[in-house]
A and B are shown apart, each in its own frame.
Chain A
Amino acid sequence: MSLQPPLIKISPTRELNELFSDIHPPLTPRQAELESARCLYCYDAPCVKACPSEIDIPSFINAIHHENIEGAAQTIYSSNILGGTCARVCPTEILCEQSCVRNKEAECAPVLIGLLQRYATDHAQFEGHPFSREPETGKRIAIVGGGPAGLSCAHRLSMKGHQVEIFEAHEKAGGLNEYGIARYKMTEDFAAKEVDFILSLGGITLHTEKVLGRDLSLAELQAEFDAVFLAIGLQGTRQLMLAHEALETVQNAVDYIRQLRQASDLSELDVPRRAVVIGAGNTAIDIACQLKRLGSEEVTLVYRRGAESMSATAHEQAIAKAHEVQIKTWSKPEHLLVDDAGALVGVEFRSTAMDQGQLIDLDTTYEIGCDAVFKAVGQTLVLPENEGGLSSLVKSGKLAVNSEFQTAIPKVYAGGDCTSVGQDLTVEAVQQGKRAAEAIHSFLILADKA
């Protein structure tokens, strides 16, 4: 997909990796030594309770402090095999670091848990894979979707001695780690390296470009495997429902981010001079900041409610401000404006307000000129084609599972973004994949005993 002019082309002398260097630079050994000393080694630590994947944070920080980096990394991986990704992408300000007791002290500053986690996972040097597999059980499990949930589930099941096959629609595994996370959070080819690391355990076969509903069916998987785990994420994007939305210059933010993440050369990208981003979540912030880094002159993020209702965390909003992204609140898009030739020239917004708990339209409207519009108003579950049977599982837009991640279909489990469990975060997907693996394992062992 290419955008229409007027577009700016960035000087090709600037490397993409330079534009998208780490937003939070990694700690140096000395910084890690000092930061790890700040951890109080709490008992029944609040940070652990706040980590969705239940990493033993005081233990791994203590290990870092005493220069046992492999021990630290192993502790992290034993709870979260994607600990390297989570260290980069977790909104720690609403998770572990928010709960750190050191916020409450006079210094009001949490231990930098995420950066320490990154330090351990970046620097650990294992001979081979840090975990071993239990003896073969003879059980086989199919996993649909090679994102964080699928990978985490696969790793844990393989550790338990089961054979795992992952069926992934794209040419690379990793899910949104590979295709969706902001490029300045996950730099270079970290996502691919992490997939290799996980697969190096053995017992996991990855089939790429295999789409459930197109290349294989749930019925076949049920017949051939002892259990199936669905980890298909959210493949749909909410639309604005406005005229001219089909224009090439009106894009889904996630599609553009995917293109950006995969680009190895800036010349592969079209960058609008002025862009409007609709949305208020982290995806909206991510696209806005990435456009700014690419060289867009004006990026305006527009949200129909007030800043306090934005799902992007305060920390993310601050990052947007640091990138000189304009944030406009209390406005909703009403018309996509085109010129006589049919090219996008701007967006007309209507002002909104709260009235007795109701969002209402006001009389005023205004226009923002732009060359492209990016939609970041949320991802939705799209059921695989030809798998009508799955529609019975959908409750309030997502797959329904019980506390053991079982769906109503026998032998079929689900986890990650495609379910209604937890928040849509990488670390949540990892935890759900891990817990689903434990549940599948117990189920298979019980089935054997029966």
Chain B
Amino acid sequence: MANLKTTFAGIKSPNPFWLASAPPTDKAYNVERAFEAGWGGVVWKTLGEDPAAVNVSSRYSATYDANGQVVGFNNIELITDRSLEINLREIEAVKKHWPEQALIVSLMVPCVEDSWKRIVKLVEETGADGLELNFGCPHGMPERGMGAAVGQVPDIVEQVTRWCKLHSRLPVIVKLTPNITDIRFSARAAKAGGADAVSLINTINSITGIDLDQMVARPIVDGKSTHGGYCGPAVKPIALNMVSEIARDPATLGLPISGIGGISNWRDAAEFIALGAGSVQVCTAAMIHGFRIVTEMKDGLSRWMDSKGYESLEDFRGLAVANTTDWKYLNMNYKVVANINDDTCIGCGRCYISCEDTSHQAIAKLPQPDGSNRYQVIEDECVGCNLCEITCPVSACITLEQREAEKPYLSWIHDERNPHREIGH
């Protein structure tokens, strides 16, 4: 079986699956159970200065798919609601008990050098493997000038990172908030401040839905609500894009990335790693299914690696980065057209109506003598948009096949249809 051992920003762990800083890593009891279940590491629930935060009652809400499975998860919790001292003693004990597993401690204190200096020293004494700076919490904490309020200002990100690097010998991971326009600015700031790595994404500002009887968003706290932070499978595409932006950015080239956001199975993890992540963090999947979910994640990942001949994570890490490029470099001469496999088509008509109403009228409905319909792609009209393939409920029934393969690569930069094209080359 493939080797899942991971070294991330100098921190070793038996596998790349870490629990993200959140309720699953809130206290020794949970973390002990997580390590027993096989997690490679944990990022301890964010610590702050005493007095500890106090949470409201009714804290989570969710969005669901048609079968009632959670697709998105929203919370309005704050950082740890237990005292710093208790947390530190537990961290120390757990680390002693589990020396092989990665134990990173997440931190959030006011933007004052002394505050950071004091807390990083205390954490160092526990024997923890690293620090994660929580610049991402989008709810509650920003109102107090912490969390996302810090992460949204690159200069402050850089400043706080620098303080931590100055006062601690531990690796520093800066956790980025996605609630900004261009993630690269905060990543660059973290690097400039001396960060050993970045982790992303934290949760996205969200309202999951409105209770239409009470006319209030969820979760409802005595008739009122507030925006929360969104995570779970629904945020994965946003997280992947942000990871790829940083991985591709020449200014942050080589900066280790811990991928977070909607990771629910081995495939999600492999995708983050393919985009350059050196470890992955999971919160929602564990909260929904319990710690045992890591069993299938590890097994699936190593079997897939075996099937591809990858012996270690480094063998495929970042392989998708170079293939993620700017629109202007895409080949204008590449052409695919949809093809429907009559043998597997079940005749639901979804491809037809979606193309007919909203795309290019490129699918013909051919009534058959028995009253059913056959559906056929009109190749000359098909632009190869993939819509029919996406709406088709039968997997691999519609495939996109390449046409005009003989034409050479042509980017928009040199395309005749581009009024601003570059002449030459």
User: Contacts A34-B67, A37-B66, A65-B66 hold; do A43 and B353 have CB atoms under 8 A apart?
Assistant: yes
Q: Check: B290 CB closer than 8 A to any chain A CB.
A: no
Tell me the residues in window 41-80 of chain A with beta carbons closer than 8 Å to chain B beta carbons. 41-46, 49, 65
The residue of chain B having its C-beta at the shortest distance from the C-beta of A44 within the complex is B349
The residue of chain A having its C-beta at the shortest distance from the C-beta of B371 within the complex is A49
CA distance A42 to B353 in the complex (A): 9
Which A residues are CB-close (under 8 A) to B347? Answer: 42, 46, 101, 104
The residue of chain A having its C-beta at the shortest distance from the C-beta of B365 within the complex is A44
Q: Check: B350 CB closer than 8 A to any chain A CB.
A: yes
Interface readout for B353-375 with A: 1 if CB under 8 Å, 0 if not?
A: 10000000000010000011100
Given contacts A40-B348, A40-B350, A104-B346, 19 further A-B contacts (CB under 8 A): A33-B68, A34-B68, A37-B67, A40-B393, A42-B347, A42-B348, A42-B349, A43-B348, A43-B350, A43-B352, A43-B353, A44-B349, A44-B352, A46-B371, A49-B371, A101-B346, A101-B348, A102-B346, A105-B394
| Nearest chain A CB to B216 CB, angstrom units | 19
| Interface pair B346/A105, CB less than 8 Å apart | yes
| Nearest chain B CB to A436 CB, angstrom units | 24
| Nearest chain A CB to B168 CB, angstrom units | 51
Please name 8 pairs of A and B residues whose Cβ atoms are closer than 8 Å in the assembled complex, sorted by A: A40-B350, A41-B350, A42-B347, A42-B350, A44-B353, A46-B371, A102-B346, A105-B346
CA distance A46 to B68 in the complex (A): 27
Tell me the residues in window 6-54 of chain A with beta carbons closer than 8 Å to chain B beta carbons. 33-34, 37, 40-46, 49
Most B CB contacts (10 A, CB to CB) among A33, A41, A43, A49 go to A43
The residue of chain B having its C-beta at the shortest distance from the C-beta of A50 within the complex is B371
CA distance A104 to B352 in the complex (A): 18
Which A residues are CB-close (under 8 A) to B352? Answer: 43-44
CA distance A37 to B353 in the complex (A): 19
The residue of chain A having its C-beta at the shortest distance from the C-beta of B351 within the complex is A43
CA distance A33 to B65 in the complex (A): 11
| Nearest chain B CB to A239 CB, angstrom units | 39
How many A-B residue contacts, CB cutoff 8 Å? 39
| Nearest chain B CB to A99 CB, angstrom units | 8
Which B residues are CB-close (under 8 A) to A65? Answer: 66
Interface residues, chain A, with chain B CB atoms under 8 Å away = 33-34, 37, 40-46, 49, 65, 101-102, 104-105
Which A residues are CB-close (under 8 A) to B349? Answer: 42-45
Which B residues are CB-close (under 8 A) to A46? Answer: 347, 371-372
The residue of chain B having its C-beta at the shortest distance from the C-beta of A37 within the complex is B66
| Interface pair B67/A44, CB less than 8 Å apart | no
CA distance A190 to B348 in the complex (A): 34
| Nearest chain A CB to B390 CB, angstrom units | 14
Which B residues are CB-close (under 8 A) to A105? Answer: 346, 393-394
Contact of A44 among B66, B373, B393, B394 (CB under 8 A): B373
Which B residues are CB-close (under 8 A) to A45? Answer: 348-349
Which A residues are CB-close (under 8 A) to B66? Answer: 37, 65
| Nearest chain B CB to A374 CB, angstrom units | 38
Tell me the residues in window 140-195 of chain B with beta carbons closer than 8 Å to chain A beta carbons. none
CA distance A102 to B347 in the complex (A): 10
Which A residues are CB-close (under 8 A) to B67? Answer: 34, 37
CA distance A65 to B67 in the complex (A): 10
CA distance A43 to B350 in the complex (A): 6
| Nearest chain A CB to B282 CB, angstrom units | 26
Which A residues are CB-close (under 8 A) to B373? Answer: 44
Interface readout for B27-59 with A: 1 if CB under 8 Å, 0 if not?
A: 000000000000000000000000000000000
Most B CB contacts (10 A, CB to CB) among A37, A46, A65 go to A46
CA distance A23 to B371 in the complex (A): 32
Which A residues are CB-close (under 8 A) to B372? Answer: 46
The residue of chain B having its C-beta at the shortest distance from the C-beta of A45 within the complex is B349
| Nearest chain B CB to A411 CB, angstrom units | 34
Tell me the residues in window 372-388 of chain B with beta carbons closer than 8 Å to chain A beta carbons. 372-373
CA distance A40 to B372 in the complex (A): 16
Which B residues are CB-close (under 8 A) to A44? Answer: 349, 352-353, 365, 373
Which A residues are CB-close (under 8 A) to B350? Answer: 40-43
Which B residues are CB-close (under 8 A) to A37? Answer: 66-67
| Nearest chain A CB to B309 CB, angstrom units | 30
| Nearest chain B CB to A333 CB, angstrom units | 39
CA distance A65 to B373 in the complex (A): 26
Tell me the residues in window 249-305 of chain B with beta carbons closer than 8 Å to chain A beta carbons. none
CA distance A65 to B365 in the complex (A): 28
| Nearest chain B CB to A321 CB, angstrom units | 30
The residue of chain A having its C-beta at the shortest distance from the C-beta of B367 within the complex is A44
CA distance A37 to B352 in the complex (A): 21
| Nearest chain B CB to A398 CB, angstrom units | 25
